Structure 1
Amino acid sequence: MAERVGIIDIGSNTIRLVIYERLTSWQHFDEIENIKVSARLRSYFDENHFLNNDGIELLIKTLEDFNNLLTHYEVNEFTCVATASIRQAANKNDILKIVEKKTKIAIKLLSEYEEAFYGFKAVIHSIPLQQGLTIDIGGGSTEVTYFENRNMVHFHSFPFGALSLKLQFVKQDIPSYQEIENIRHFIDEQLQKFPWISNKQVPVIAIGGSARNVGQIHQLFSDYPLDEMHQYEMEVEDLTAIKERLLPLSYPELQKIDGLSKDRVDTILPAFEVFEAICKTASATKYIVSRRGLRDGILYEKWLNHDNHNLPLLDVSIEKFRKHFYIGSQDEHQLTKIATIFYEAVKKIDRLGHSFSKEDYKLLVLGARIYNLGNKVSTETSSNTFTLIANQTILGMSHRDRIKLALVASYKGKGAFQKYIQPYKDWYTKEEQIKISILGAILKVSQSLNISNKNTVVDVHINQEKADNWSLNISCNGYFRPEEYHVEKQKKHLEKLLKISISTSFFIS
């Protein structure tokens, strides 16, 4: 049976249970359940900063419900953590004792360092950056870290979050212009105490529900063609532009904004102020949304095999992708071998006017690893391959590069290529589109030379003495008629793109 683990995360705004499953065949977890309760424990603090009885009862009821779910899903092991919601409570020790007595769940109270560290850990294991600032804004605190060479150098936990700012500064449902000014002034004063944040000129990676909401709103406002939030990039100026569009709206109008969670309508503007202030103080080069956060950091640190983290992030992600769709490694190696021969031949064609780089070859190899994976779920391989790759989170790969990979790995012909690329056409120059097509065509022809999936082809020698004619001498170790038949059908893709003719000669070596 697959191993299942759970994490209960008690925050100031929400309490969430996430259940993960790990198949014994590889060291990766898949999320199978994610349940959120908008408890807003912060609003149950009294004037002396005690969490009152109603808040404690709500916490107990929520954990009892989660306990039932853990039993239902047959979870092998779980951990329950609390952050600023309980850490900042004057009666925190009493809360921990009462909850454990009533629910049999022991809450681990995370320190400020642990909360910051787990968020940082999640980012470096899901986004390929060597240097940056992370912001994890919750309901009652905001953790900021600065890392270099993927090592955390500085951290601080600010004792304010989206909900606590709202409760402290806002009298009505949403802030007035003056209240926004007061929040901004307060945040700026806090940031000035930490000079290591200033003028870093690095990307800012934002974690948490408010960060995701900011990205979702921007995607909708800009008609973004992908429904994907992890590693979504924005300019810092976009933060200001979106906020300016939201500020004049009334509370009912904000409730109608697509992409904005109903339970964050009254806290999103204070959250914007935090993101904008930190980005401007740091002279951030980008605002990047991370869907991986504190819970993922705990998962990585507590349950994953750390030996796997020596592998490049993208390789680990692609391998998980391959395992999920049961793509055999034998196809990968044979396809890569043949595709590399064609790739090297294409590079020699000077009249194309396209220079191929190491990144192009890397894209070809990645495409070979997951080429036509759609045939595992349907006979219509091309469209399924494109859809699966385009809509799967591939850690370590930007949205732009992921669409390139989807186009290469799903290549079927010019018509399908134009159909798939249409929503993303503005992302790539004409030259890039041609290069992507050529890489896809190389894989298409290469696959035809292993159509029987028996690694029949031993070697391919390409004679390029005539600029407009390739002569392929293909040595085989056995029956080659299927490969001979299919390469004759598929060679047209390269012929059209390269403006050449291709003749083939098969023989048994």
Structure 2
Amino acid sequence: MTEQRIGIIDIGSNSIRLAVYERTANGAHRVIDGGKRPARLSGEIDEQGRIRSEKIDELIGILNHYRLICAHHRTGRIRAVATAAIRNATNRDEVVERLLNETGLAVEVLSGEEEARFGYLGMINTIDIREGFLIDIGGGSTEISLFRDRTLVQSVSFPFGCVNMTRAFQDDSGMLADDDLSVLEHAISKALDQEPWLSWTPGLPLIGVGGTVRALGKLDQAATRYAFPLTHNYAISSSNADAIFDQLRTMPLDKRRKVPGLSKDRADVIVIGMAILRVIYRKLRSTHYLICGAGLRDGLFFDTRFTNQSRLDDVLGYSVRNLSLLHPEAPQPHLMQVNRLSMQLYESLKKQASLPARTEVWLDAASSLFRIGASIDYLQYAKHTFYLIVNSNLNGLTHREIVLIAAIASFKSKSRFRQQVAEYRELLDEADIEIVAQLGMLLQLAVALDRSETQSIGRLAISVSQGTLKLDALTCSGPLDVERAEVDELSKDFRKIWQLTPILHSPYIV
């Protein structure tokens, strides 16, 4: 039983997208449906700056289709927004009125600043980063924002994008001549000069949202045969981006459509989009590109759902809680007990193992998610937990950290771990194997300490003495026979990794 569903429709200059968000009865959020239709509205402007009537008819048809999908899902609200193409059209009011009359949707026409703010909100709630520049190259506009200490400082919207600039500079074969590239770069650079603050803070990453940078990420991953199937939070060097640009610019359009990693509906505008991106990167004197898979629609969702506090303070914490609530088969009291005991064990043993500080974050997440695989099959939940973590939207982490947390949450043995991560091996180093084994075994011990899932252990005193890990249950609500048997069974494997034999004592055990 769902409490509420929200439909978000983004009428962009290049495409029209739908995302249907669901809030489940226990408070988790997820996307349950979506759609994407090419629009190229920025390429359908006549000499008077009007969107052509036949294009409006096409837009109405798409919106009515999306409205039916939302009705099928019984959405409580549909929020539809339009960006640069409709914003800049001379018949903007007529378009909005027709859309209202013929679809029933009151479309919000976002200003450039609003568009930048929602894009920032989508990014800052899904990537754990303190400062940088954010760029969104759309079909008819480009937004650039500066954020410091996770707070939006300044933003600007320029009236050029990958569609309207492709129309102006690229020939019919899809080629961009040297002279045209020079003129394009000069025009963009001149526009950027009107905003001097863009050059005041060099040395920051350039985070990109939108189709152009997502396409760049997929192209780079295809070229390097990258192991992890996710572009969100993926870093690209300027040299790699330049090499991809140079390769694509020399290709006619028919060949470009066959390039691995590049979708056919992006092939005709990717070169101009990347040309814009590169000029801005150089102007900002950025360190590298970072791809963000979230964007405007995600920002609109957060703004709609969390009206009073739309910016998250803890990206990873929210994401872990949300993923756990999406797979609620494991009792929450048991998960909380295992998490508490895991972190207490970590605190007691971290100095002995010289564990890096970030490992605390990994164990915290893994000990909250270790049972989500039971939503598929309890008997093999560890295997399914690994798969779900690797293939879910776990935000606030690098790709390497996602794999490590999945491995910790599902750890059984080093040999099994090596098999699990074989396809992601290039992301890991040899030291990661030992860290996963140590943290995975701490988690297994914490699970054993609540094997009856009754949270019997209250206060637990932990001490190390002469190769023994003493676990004294100072307070407990009943006999710990099951827990003691589980700890004894685990002790041999635990000793192999930690060189300590765990022994559980309680007032009920003589």
Query: Given the two structures, how large is their TM-score scaled by the length of structure 2?
Result: 0.92
Structure 2 residue matching 1:9: 3-state secondary structure: strand
Structure 1 residue matching 2:464: 3-state secondary structure: strand
Superposed CA deviations along residues 19-44 of structure 1, whole A, max 9, x for unmatched, are: 21112432x53211111111212222
After TM superposition, the structure 1 = structure 2 runs for residues 116-195 of structure 1, keeping only pairs within 5 Å, are 116-178=116-178, 179-195=180-196
* One-letter amino acid matched to 1:493: D
- Residues 295, 472 of structure 1: alpha-carbon distance in 2 compared, 3 angstrom cutoff: closer
Structure 2 residue matching 1:356: 3-state secondary structure: coil
- Specify the alignment match of 1:2 in structure 2: 3
Structure 2 residue matching 1:456: 3-state secondary structure: coil
- Specify the alignment match of 2:238 in structure 1: 236
- Specify the alignment match of 1:342 in structure 2: 345
**2:335 paired residue among 332, 336, 340:** 332
Structure 1 residue matching 2:360: 3-state secondary structure: helix
**1:303 paired residue among 298, 302, 305:** 305
- Residues 462, 132 of structure 1: alpha-carbon distance in 2 compared, 3 angstrom cutoff: closer
- Specify the alignment match of 2:277 in structure 1: 275
* One-letter amino acid matched to 1:13: N
- Residues 458, 242 of structure 1: alpha-carbon distance in 2 compared, 3 angstrom cutoff: same
Q: Structure 1 residue 264: deviation in Å?
A: 0.9
Q: Structure 1 residue 145: deviation in Å?
A: 0.9
- Specify the alignment match of 1:256 in structure 2: 258
- Specify the alignment match of 2:358 in structure 1: 359
- Would you say how many aligned residue pairs link Structure 1 and Structure 2? 503
Q: Which moved more, 1:375-384 or 1:338-347?
A: 338-347
Q: Structure 1 residue 236: deviation in Å?
A: 2.3
Q: Structure 1 residue 404: deviation in Å?
A: 1.7
User: Within 1, Cα distance between the matches of 2:491 and 2:184?
Assistant: 64
User: Within 2, Cα distance between the matches of 1:107 and 1:205?
Assistant: 28
* One-letter amino acid matched to 1:272: M
Q: Structure 1 residue 294: deviation in Å?
A: 1.3
- Specify the alignment match of 1:77 in structure 2: 77
User: Within 1, Cα distance between the matches of 2:152 and 2:498?
Assistant: 49
Q: Assess if the C-alpha contact under 8 Å between 1:308 and 1:316 holds in 2.
A: no
**1:204 paired residue among 203, 206, 210:** 206
Q: Which moved more, 1:308-317 or 1:1-10?
A: 308-317
- Specify the alignment match of 2:371 in structure 1: 372
- Residues 344, 93 of structure 1: alpha-carbon distance in 2 compared, 3 angstrom cutoff: closer
Q: Which moved more, 1:241-250 or 1:158-167?
A: 241-250
Q: Assess if the C-alpha contact under 8 Å between 2:227 and 2:426 holds in 1.
A: no
Q: Which moved more, 1:494-503 or 1:36-45?
A: 494-503
Q: Structure 1 residue 387: deviation in Å?
A: 1.0
- Specify the alignment match of 2:286 in structure 1: 284
- Residues 454, 168 of structure 1: alpha-carbon distance in 2 compared, 3 angstrom cutoff: same
- Specify the alignment match of 1:410 in structure 2: 410
- Residues 361, 60 of structure 1: alpha-carbon distance in 2 compared, 3 angstrom cutoff: closer
Q: Which moved more, 1:357-366 or 1:110-119?
A: 357-366
- Specify the alignment match of 1:421 in structure 2: 421
Q: Which moved more, 1:110-119 or 1:486-495?
A: 486-495
- Residues 312, 341 of structure 1: alpha-carbon distance in 2 compared, 3 angstrom cutoff: closer
- Specify the alignment match of 1:213 in structure 2: 215
Structure 2 residue matching 1:302: 3-state secondary structure: helix
Superposed CA deviations along residues 289-311 of structure 1, whole A, max 9, x for unmatched, are: 11221122222112325348565
* One-letter amino acid matched to 1:89: A
Q: Which moved more, 1:484-493 or 1:313-322?
A: 484-493
Q: Structure 1 residue 396: deviation in Å?
A: 1.7
Superposed CA deviations along residues 222-252 of structure 1, whole A, max 9, x for unmatched, are: 1111111222222222211222232333322
Q: Assess if the C-alpha contact under 8 Å between 2:133 and 2:204 holds in 1.
A: yes
User: Within 1, Cα distance between the matches of 2:206 and 2:331?
Assistant: 38
Q: CA RMSD in A?
A: 2.3
Q: Structure 1 residue 160: deviation in Å?
A: 0.7
Structure 1 residue matching 2:358: 3-state secondary structure: helix
Unaligned runs of 5+ in 2: none
Structure 1 residue matching 2:406: 3-state secondary structure: helix
Q: Assess if the C-alpha contact under 8 Å between 1:173 and 1:266 holds in 2.
A: no
Structure 2 residue matching 1:266: 3-state secondary structure: coil
Q: Structure 1 residue 345: deviation in Å?
A: 4.2
Identity of aligned residues (%): 27
Superposed CA deviations along residues 107-137 of structure 1, whole A, max 9, x for unmatched, are: 2211111111111121122212221111111
Q: Assess if the C-alpha contact under 8 Å between 2:135 and 2:209 holds in 1.
A: yes
Q: Structure 1 residue 203: deviation in Å?
A: 1.5
Q: Structure 1 residue 376: deviation in Å?
A: 3.0
Q: Structure 1 residue 205: deviation in Å?
A: 1.2
Query: Given the two structures, how large is their TM-score scaled by the length of structure 1?
Result: 0.92
Structure 1 residue matching 2:421: 3-state secondary structure: helix
Q: Structure 1 residue 165: deviation in Å?
A: 0.9
* One-letter amino acid matched to 2:284: A
* One-letter amino acid matched to 1:15: I
- Residues 342, 12 of structure 1: alpha-carbon distance in 2 compared, 3 angstrom cutoff: closer
Structure 2 residue matching 1:252: 3-state secondary structure: helix
* One-letter amino acid matched to 1:213: A
User: Within 2, Cα distance between the matches of 1:98 and 1:335?
Assistant: 57
- Specify the alignment match of 2:114 in structure 1: 114
* One-letter amino acid matched to 1:146: L
- Residues 469, 60 of structure 1: alpha-carbon distance in 2 compared, 3 angstrom cutoff: closer
Structure 2 residue matching 1:386: 3-state secondary structure: helix
Matched, 1:225 2:227: yes
User: Within 2, Cα distance between the matches of 1:271 and 1:388?
Assistant: 34
* One-letter amino acid matched to 2:59: L
Structure 2 residue matching 1:464: 3-state secondary structure: strand
Q: Assess if the C-alpha contact under 8 Å between 2:370 and 2:382 holds in 1.
A: no
Q: Assess if the C-alpha contact under 8 Å between 2:12 and 2:138 holds in 1.
A: yes
Q: Structure 1 residue 463: deviation in Å?
A: 5.1
User: Within 2, Cα distance between the matches of 1:191 and 1:470?
Assistant: 62
- Specify the alignment match of 1:490 in structure 2: 490
